[in-house]
Structure formats: C-alpha cells, structure tokens
Structure 1
Amino acid sequence: MGAIVALPPARGPHPVGCTDVLVGHSRQGLFLRLFYPCVARPGAAEPLWIPRAEYCGALADAALRRRCCSALLSIAIGSCKVPVSWNEPLKPRSSGYPLIIFSHGLGAFRTLYSSLCSELASWGFVVAALEHRDHSAATTYFCPAEAGTEEWIPFQRVPQGQKEFYFRNKQVHQRAQECVRALRLFQDIAGGRSVPNILPQGWDLSVLKDSLDLTKVAVLGHSFGGVTAVLALVKEPSFRCAVALDAWMFPLENLLYPEVAKPVLFINTEKFQTPESVAKMKRLSSRNSQTRIVTVLGTVHEDQSDFAFLPERLFSLIFGRRGTLSPHKALAITSRAALAFLHRHLELQEDFGQWEQLLEGVGDSVVPDSPFTRSHL
C-alpha cells in the first residue's frame, strides 16, 4: 500500500538534505533532526516521515488517546516519506548558514514539522529540530553506552492531583534549556571540538565547522514549542529573535515577561488562541516594538504542523474539524512571514524583505493581532 500522505517539496533555491543527530549516551544528551542545504544528487534516498513503528503507537496514544489506533495509523502514514535527500553532503557556502533551533509541540516529535523545517532550509538555513526529553514528546529515546539497546522516554500526562501550571512550567524550562544545549552543540562544532554522532549512519558533524554563522541564530517552535522559544530568548543571549507558532502561553510564569527583551513573531491560527493568551503576547509586544502578532485566517492549530497534509477524513478522525485555507497556502504564509522576520532581525542579505508586509498582517488570509476565538480542542 502506498503512502496516503504527501508532504510538499520545499520551494526555495537550495536542495534540502536531512540527517539525524544523537549526541551523548544519557538523558542529558540531545536528539535532533537536521535539515540543511545540500548537494543535489539524482536518486538520493528519502527518509521516512514517521521514523520508527514505536512513534506510531506513541502518537496514537498521545494525540488520539487511543492506543488501539496504532496499527491503523501505521498503515495510513507509516510509509510516508519526506521529500528531502537523506544524508547527502552539505552544500558549501563561504559566508556560513544562519542557524535555527526548532522546538516541537506537546505530543509531537522531531519529524512532525518537516514541511516547515525543509522549507526554511531550502532558503539557506540550517535547521535543528529537537526531540525533547521532558516527557512532552509522544515518545523519544536515548542509547545508554553499556546497555546496547535504546531506553525510551514515554509521553506523560499531568499526574493526578498536581496543578497543570507547575507541571508544565517545569517542562518548559527543561525544553528551553535543551534549546540552549543544542546551540552549545553547534558552538562546540564551530570551535573545532569533536562531537561524535552516535547513530550508525556516518554523517560527520565536523563538516559544519566552517559552515555556520553563529552570530545569526534564532529559535522557533509550535504550541508548547512556541512558548519554549520565547523562554529560550530569556535563557540565551545568542538567540537574536524567536518565531512562535500558535504559542501556548499558559506555562510561562508572569515574572518572566519583563525579561523577554528580544523580538518575537507570533503567528497564530484562527481557532486556537484565547483572550488570556493573546493578552500575554501583547505584554511582550509592549516590551519590544519589533514584536509582531499576526493571525492566519481559515487555519486550525494543527495546520502549522505536517498534520495539515493528512487526507481530509484521517485529519477529521484524529483532530476534528479542519481549517478552510489550503495547507499549502498556510505553509507559504507562515514560512514567508518567518523569513521576513528573520531577514530583519538576523540582518540577512537575501531578499526575504519582499514579504515584510506579512509582519504587519497585510495580505490575503492574514490579519494583524488575533481574533478572540476559542479552540474546539
């Protein structure tokens, strides 16, 4: 049976390569998927979208709360591939690529934003999509040196009797710290330190040594990852700006809002945000005049992930009603707004300024600020 999910190919000028990076043998290590401009080669292999069967089961449990759907999900999406080249060589560039650290949402993992990450890579970025180890991923794993097998870290719901804020606040601080550690990893590589990738696939991280411009680093994320990106700005001065897709602002403590001095681009969908959440975003926009809030009309929360490209019936089965805007158009608006914002705040040379009007909420299917509509979720 062929895959019934077709992820869109990236539209930028660079072919996109992809590899997985696993560093360290403990929970304190890092696991990420790297998207990067590559040297194109006919017939290059493409990676699976859902990298292993364990992720299908965990996704069924975390997203649907129905483990029994694991087999159905595996049949429906298990053979889907990402239209990028697996493990191909990095495309050389004398000036160095800017770096983006990407943080996934609650119950997701490193591959579920491949459409956006590969789109950004096709415009000349190296994008590191983390898989968080705070029990907010659908599942993830690490490889203890002595065990010889993986140790899995399952998704965890809020324990009974515990206040959700305190549980999620602890997680968001761990997630933001993982974003900082990911940046440290690339700083170590750029400094010439040997960083072994313990996965047996042979992509040598040292090729990045002279290929990154670490004066131009941003942090992006969706939902729980969106607020993670905001907090990462507080924890790490090297992050120059953040793009927060439909940020779930709930887990961030109030005393931190005055600390977010860097600019943030909030790109919201029409059906997820609440007045309380948008009020928190506006606290940040009053702190920094370069912070922007825009809403993409006709979209729901999952439209900012690869789930937007699920067939109608499967999407409805998992998430309920979907948005009215074409997912291809939603991806184009989101990526172009992000590129214009990164162009402005990372001081890039490329012509991403052509999409700057999106930052003011000007354009088809985009408006400034956020309609106060509550999620059906």
Structure 2
Amino acid sequence: MGAVFSLKLPTAKGPFPVGCTDFMIDHTKEGSFCRLYYPCEAGGQSRQPLWIPRYEYCGGLVNYLNRSRWSVPLLNLAFGYHTVPVGWNAPFRAEEKYPLIIFSHGLGAFRTVYSAICLEIASHGFIVAAVEHRDESAACTCYYRTADGDVEPPPGATCEDGSSSTGPISTQAAQPGLKEVWLPVRKLETGEEEFPLRNKQLRQRVKECGQVLNLLTDINQGNPINNAFLGNLCPSVLKDCIDLQRVAVMGHSFGGCTSVQAVAEDARFRCAVALDSWMLPLSEEMCSKAPSPVFFINSEKFQTEDTIRKMKKLQSGNDKIKIITILGSVHQSMTDFTLLTGDLLSLAFETKGTIDPLEGLEIIQKAALAFLQRHLDLPKDFNQWDSLVEGEGDHIVSGPPPLT
C-alpha cells in the first residue's frame, strides 16, 4: 500500500515556480476552455489543485475505456487524491514577456492529463494553455447554460491574486445563474468509418486552438475578459506579458495530429511538437503540404505503417521536420498516467514501458525545449540539448520506430 501513495507528479525543475488557473471564456459549448500554467511569484503559500478536478472525469474515463460504471468509484479511489505541484491562482510573475504554448490533449483525455509536461515547460519561462476540447474527443468536458437559455451570465466574477489557504482543492466553481452541462466522448458506431469523424473533429480542434490563442491575444492587449469561473486568477495581470511573436502548438496523440494541422493552417503558430502523434485523422492532402517546423517525438510501440508513412511524407524535402523515437516507451509514457499508476494498473492499461517514467519524460521535455529554442529564437540555453532533436543520446534514435 505504501508504494501506491508514493506515486505523485514531480515538481518542476526550471528556474521559475509555477502557478495555474482555469479560464472558460464564453460559457457555452462554442466558447474556450483551458488550463493555464504560468511562471508565478516565489514565496507564500497557495493551494495545490486536484489532478482530476471533478468526479465526473472519472466517469468519463470509465466510459471511454468501456469499463463498468462500478469502476468509477474505484478509479476515483486510485487517482482522486493526487494533486498537481503548482500554486492554484498563485500571483503571476509579471516581469517579462513569455513565449506561449497551446497544448492539445489526446482522444479520451482532458486538460489536466499532461500536467507534468505542461508545468515543467512553464517552469522554464513559458505560458502554457492546455485546451479542453469540445469536439467530443475528451473523456468528458463541461460547459454551461443559463436558466433563460444561452445568454450572457450576470457579470462580476471576482479575481484573486493568490491564496494563503492550504490543502488540495477542486477547481470548478461557476458564476451564479449557470447550469452545468457535461459532454461525453463520442464513440464510433458499429460499422462507422473512422476517418470522416476524426477529420471533422480535427478541424474543430484546430479551430479551438486558434480560439484560445485569440483569447490570450485579447488578454495580452488588456481587453476585458469575463471568466465563467469564480475566484480564479484575474486575466488582466497577464496584460503585455505574452510574447505573441513566439507561439507554438504542442499535443499528444490526437493532439499531436492537431498540432500538425494547426501549424500548417495558422501562421501565428511558428512550430509544433507532436508527441506520439495519431496520424489517421490527417488527410493525404494535408500530408502533401510543407508545414512549418514540426518535431515528432514517438514512443516505441504505438505507430503503425500508415502513420509512419504520413510522417515521412511530411518530412520529405523539409529539413525543419524532425522525427525521433524514445526507446522503451509506450503511448501513455507521455501522459501523467505513467507516473501515477502502480504495477498492477500499468499491466492492465500499459501505462509504462521499460524506460523509467521520469527519465522518459525528461527526454521529452529537454528535446522539446531545444526544438522550441531553435524555431522560436529564444534567448535561452536549451540548445545544450540539441543532440536530442537529432536523435542522439541514451534511449533515443533518429527517425520513426521500427515496425515489428
């Protein structure tokens, strides 16, 4: 039992302490929902948010995995106590401009599932916005309606500049007059072709990434923003602190594919980092285009012949597209689940490979930072890890994984 309770998300190693908050701008299904990780002021006490923000997400995961509803309380027992080692609504460090990363989650995930990667990148001087998609690819997500239909809620959400309270907290408390609506994952129907559905979802996901970038652009310009959530970090503290000339998009699995399409369609994204990208939703037409720089970081055991073909087709004739593989890793090695599951759950859901989970995530983080410096022209020292981008080092090889 002791080993179970030793499982936790690692604290950030970068020079900046990290805070986080949630923004839901436009409470309707068409609005933007994201978790923001950001450099915060050092010192003081602040609460740590629960990793699974609401019990409903346990139900969403069980539904996505086609498990019995009786598994929901068991999943909550296994994961419900975990916290994210960041300061919830901690005071923003408004002393410089920070580059921005928009992060897109995978199929059956949600905005908090990649907390370890997001908070580590934020600790190196980035603002990271983890989108929770409403294309019905999340395990579940929520939006709000008013009692009188989808009209504006009453104004006046309060702002916070930090908290001296201690202890983990659940992080969704909406403004008065809003009724919560939960949106479950959309599963394939019997006999349904997958590509049309996933390509449609892909287009919506790219739109949602752009919407979050629009939102943060408004915030950076000082435009008034009405957050549907009460008591969260006041958006106005971010004014003039987002470097909109240095914006990238990043994601895992379906989110990796989303990042590839987003960087090809939206010139505001200067580069993309695609973690074990699920390439099925990407059209052949898109694969024939030469997108901006893309960094494919693959696990050893997920990719198929068709998805590797698409990666190579994109890379053909484009030296700004890099592909590496982390040996001993599996698809879930790039999620928080690899850190929070013990041996039994790992066997059941293949959340761990043969590589140490912390070592695998460290390779991802350092390689991504080196790539971001290269293509965002960052005045940092991340180029010390340039060899990883070229597939040189322990536990990595250049190119896609070999098929067996």
TM-score tier, shorter chain, comes to over 0.9
Match 2:87 to one of 81, 85, 88 = 85
Q: Which moved more, 1:223-232 or 1:270-279?
A: 270-279
Does the aligned pair in 2 maintain the 1:112–1:306 contact within 8 Å? yes
d(CA) in 2 for partners of 1:259 and 1:178? Answer: 22
d(CA) in 1 for partners of 2:323 and 2:134? Answer: 29
Per-residue deviation, residues 303-348 of structure 1 (Å, max 9, x unmatched): 0000011233343254137301111101100000000000000000
**Which residue does 1:201 correspond to in 2?**
231
How far off its partner does 1:67 sit?
2.8
**Which residue does 1:291 correspond to in 2?**
321
Match 1:16 to one of 11, 15, 18 = 18
How far off its partner does 1:368 sit?
0.3
Q: Helix, strand or coil for the counterpart of 1:143?
A: strand
How far off its partner does 1:287 sit?
4.3
**Which residue does 1:280 correspond to in 2?**
310
**Which residue does 1:373 correspond to in 2?**
403
**Which residue does 2:78 correspond to in 1?**
76
Q: Which moved more, 1:338-347 or 1:255-264?
A: 255-264
Residues 343, 321 of structure 1: alpha-carbon distance in 2 compared, 3 angstrom cutoff:
closer
Identity of aligned residues (%): 49
**Which residue does 2:357 correspond to in 1?**
327
**Which residue does 2:64 correspond to in 1?**
62
How far off its partner does 1:64 sit?
5.1
d(CA) in 2 for partners of 1:144 and 1:5? Answer: 38
How far off its partner does 1:198 sit?
1.4
**Which residue does 1:231 correspond to in 2?**
261
Match 2:388 to one of 346, 358, 361 = 358
d(CA) in 1 for partners of 2:199 and 2:43? Answer: 45
**Which residue does 1:250 correspond to in 2?**
280
Q: Helix, strand or coil for the counterpart of 1:21?
A: strand
d(CA) in 2 for partners of 1:216 and 1:12? Answer: 19
Q: TM-score, normalised by structure 1?
A: 0.95
Question: In the alignment, residue 70 of structure 1 is paired with which amino acid?
Answer: V
Does the aligned pair in 1 maintain the 2:141–2:184 contact within 8 Å? yes
How far off its partner does 1:60 sit?
1.7
d(CA) in 1 for partners of 2:352 and 2:403? Answer: 15
How far off its partner does 1:235 sit?
2.1
The structure 1 segments of at least 4 consecutive aligned residues displaced by more than 4 Å after TM superposition are 1-4
Q: Does 1:29 align with 2:59?
A: no
**Which residue does 1:177 correspond to in 2?**
207
Question: In the alignment, residue 63 of structure 1 is paired with which amino acid?
Answer: L
d(CA) in 2 for partners of 1:12 and 1:322? Answer: 25
Count of aligned pairs? 373
How far off its partner does 1:278 sit?
1.2
Q: Helix, strand or coil for the counterpart of 1:141?
A: strand
Question: In the alignment, residue 128 of structure 1 is paired with which amino acid?
Answer: A
Per-residue deviation, residues 176-219 of structure 1 (Å, max 9, x unmatched): 11001111111111222111111012311111111110000000
**Which residue does 1:135 correspond to in 2?**
136
Q: Does 1:47 align with 2:77?
A: no
d(CA) in 2 for partners of 1:3 and 1:277? Answer: 38
**Which residue does 2:192 correspond to in 1?**
162
Q: Helix, strand or coil for the counterpart of 2:270?
A: strand
Question: In the alignment, residue 163 of structure 1 is paired with which amino acid?
Answer: E
d(CA) in 1 for partners of 2:32 and 2:381? Answer: 33
Q: Helix, strand or coil for the counterpart of 1:157?
A: coil
Task: Output the aligned Cα RMSD.
Answer: 1.6
Does the aligned pair in 2 maintain the 1:294–1:366 contact within 8 Å? yes
Q: Helix, strand or coil for the counterpart of 1:150?
A: strand
Unmatched tracts of structure 2, length 5 or more: 148-176
Residues 32, 321 of structure 1: alpha-carbon distance in 2 compared, 3 angstrom cutoff:
closer
d(CA) in 2 for partners of 1:3 and 1:50? Answer: 16
Question: In the alignment, residue 294 of structure 1 is paired with which amino acid?
Answer: I
Does the aligned pair in 1 maintain the 2:298–2:401 contact within 8 Å? no
How far off its partner does 1:363 sit?
0.4
Residues 41, 149 of structure 1: alpha-carbon distance in 2 compared, 3 angstrom cutoff:
farther
Does the aligned pair in 2 maintain the 1:3–1:76 contact within 8 Å? no
How far off its partner does 1:159 sit?
2.2
Q: Does 1:302 align with 2:332?
A: yes
Question: In the alignment, residue 145 of structure 1 is paired with which amino acid?
Answer: T
How far off its partner does 1:3 sit?
5.0
